Chain A
């Protein structure tokens, strides 16, 4: 288990970290020495860029480094947000189990809004069709057993807005997505 996932304290970031984040948030150069090229652009030493990125990874500011796949283009045309009403005592153990399934791309505990919304666990399921999503959701259902009271799948039928990562300097606005 990675400890940063649920720890509230934020890591200290200085101006150089901010510059590094801005320089890499839309991607790394596709060259033999991408970190060295970033370092050149920022006027830093290549070792410093590597050390700082390693630290950002260690403290969870960076989740991972690699390709960010386009699910839809890869054939995962059906995207179902499965939502689950699970006993409060069991929800964290169940969340850990669901996270281990390779077809789940996000798994979060979120607040209920009773009486209309009893669901407290959200797991995003991707499949090549609604049938495959339903089969996968059934796998989750089987895994969860008695602790589930109710569940639902919310399919997306349209993307209304999708902006890329945005993270700006200056303290007025720090954002990304």
Chain B
């Protein structure tokens, strides 16, 4: 990764200006040409270092209901249960984790009532208990990811 790409990743995880020519503002700030910045962001996306460029929306503030849920899945049923859980449109992310609670997924629903309904349906489909860990409080993150030295 070159200096431009590192500069972009380290300086552009937030604070992209809202104005007529935001890339120009950024270019002036970082000491590049506008088109260099735009091409640099395009390349970061095409190389896969960046998954998206734009606003990061906060689901809860849009009025949806969200929870992090977990199941202790018997190992011999793991793939089957993953398929059952993933079949729900409301399940956004699902990760296998090394713990007794070995399947962790995010459920997004229209509202609280629908969220509870989805949890019940997942329990019925899998025959397993779903533990729900809704966010009670979020702590402000001051800093962002830095490109690792390697």
With both chains docked as a complex, state the minimum distance between the C-beta of A165 and any C-beta of chain B, in angstroms: 7
> Known contacts A113-B131, A158-B95, A177-B93; is A66 also within 8 Å of B53 by CB?
yes
Interface centre among B54, B93, B100 (most CB of A within 10 A): B54
Q: Are A13 and B104 in touch, CB under 8 angstroms?
A: no
> Known contacts A65-B18, A68-B53; is A175 also within 8 Å of B58 by CB?
no
Q: Are A32 and B145 in touch, CB under 8 angstroms?
A: no
Q: Are A6 and B137 in touch, CB under 8 angstroms?
A: yes
Does B64 lie at the interface of the complex (its beta carbon under 8 Å from any beta carbon of A)?
A: yes
Q: B23 — nearest CB in chain A belongs to which residue?
A: A32
Q: Are A10 and B135 in touch, CB under 8 angstroms?
A: no
Q: Are B131 and A26 in touch, CB under 8 angstroms?
A: no
- A165 cross-chain contacts in B, Cβ below 8 A: 57
| Complex Cα–Cα for A32 and B50 (A) | 19
> Known contacts A74-B145, A99-B140; is A30 also within 8 Å of B24 by CB?
no
Q: B26 — nearest CB in chain A belongs to which residue?
A: A66
Interface residues on A, range: 35 or more
Q: Are A28 and B54 in touch, CB under 8 angstroms?
A: yes
Chain A 141-166 interface mask (CB, 8 Å, partner B; 1/0): 00000000000101111111111111
Among A102, A117, A155, the residue within 8 A (CB) of B101 is A117
Interface centre among A27, A54, A111, A177 (most CB of B within 10 A): A177
Chain B 128-142 interface mask (CB, 8 Å, partner A; 1/0): 000101111111111
With both chains docked as a complex, state the minimum distance between the C-beta of A149 and any C-beta of chain B, in angstroms: 18
- A31 cross-chain contacts in B, Cβ below 8 A: 38
Chain B 43-83 interface mask (CB, 8 Å, partner A; 1/0): 01001111111111111011110001000000000000010
Among A34, A159, A177, the residue within 8 A (CB) of B106 is A177
> Known contacts A10-B61, A63-B57; is A102 also within 8 Å of B18 by CB?
no
Q: Are B13 and A108 in touch, CB under 8 angstroms?
A: no
With both chains docked as a complex, state the minimum distance between the C-beta of A13 and any C-beta of chain B, in angstroms: 7
Q: B70 — nearest CB in chain A belongs to which residue?
A: A117
Does B97 lie at the interface of the complex (its beta carbon under 8 Å from any beta carbon of A)?
A: yes
Does A50 lie at the interface of the complex (its beta carbon under 8 Å from any beta carbon of B)?
A: yes
Q: Are B53 and A28 in touch, CB under 8 angstroms?
A: yes
Chain A 82-120 interface mask (CB, 8 Å, partner B; 1/0): 000000000010011011111111111111010011000
Q: A94 — nearest CB in chain B belongs to which residue?
A: B139
Does B126 lie at the interface of the complex (its beta carbon under 8 Å from any beta carbon of A)?
A: no
B residues adjacent to A (C-beta < 8 A): 8-9, 12-16, 18-24, 34, 38, 41-42, 44, 47-59, 61-64, 68, 82, 85-86, 90-101, 103-106, 108-110, 131, 133-148, 150
A residues adjacent to B (C-beta < 8 A): 1-2, 4-6, 10-11, 13, 21, 24-28, 30-36, 46, 50, 53-54, 56-57, 59-71, 73-76, 81, 92, 95-96, 98-111, 113, 116-117, 122, 126, 128, 152, 154-167, 172-177
